[in-house]
Amino acid sequence: MNDKQQADEAWQRYGRSLIAAMQEVLEEADDRHRELLLEAADFWLGIGLVLGLDRRADAERLLGILQGHGDERGELLADADDLLAEAIR
């Protein structure tokens, strides 16, 4: 398998895992909005990853603001584990 095929396969795996992670939201959404919802999720996931890698302290502060409650972090971590399991593991 060449580099382009590997990149395409990785992108498809990421797409499938993003859809799986958002399944509940997508089931409730109007079909006209599904693509936009996935694009928005991809955008914000990308921003979160960049923040986490390049601006860790800011990412930690922002996550603390977004969570508001300690029990949400566990849920987010479980969702993150599911996403990683499908996307890259």
Number of domains in the chain: 1
Question: Residue 19 corresponds to which tokens in the numbers above?
Answer: 């859809």
Range of the domain at 57: 3-87
pLDDT tens sequence across 75-87: 888 888 888 888 8
pLDDT for the residue numbered 52: 92
φ, ψ of residue 34 to 5 degrees: the values are -55, -50
Average pLDDT over residues 35-49: 91
Which pLDDT band holds residue 70 (cuts at 50, 70, 90)?
low
Question: Residue 75 corresponds to which tokens in the numbers above?
Answer: 């849920």
- Does the global pTM surpass 0.75? no
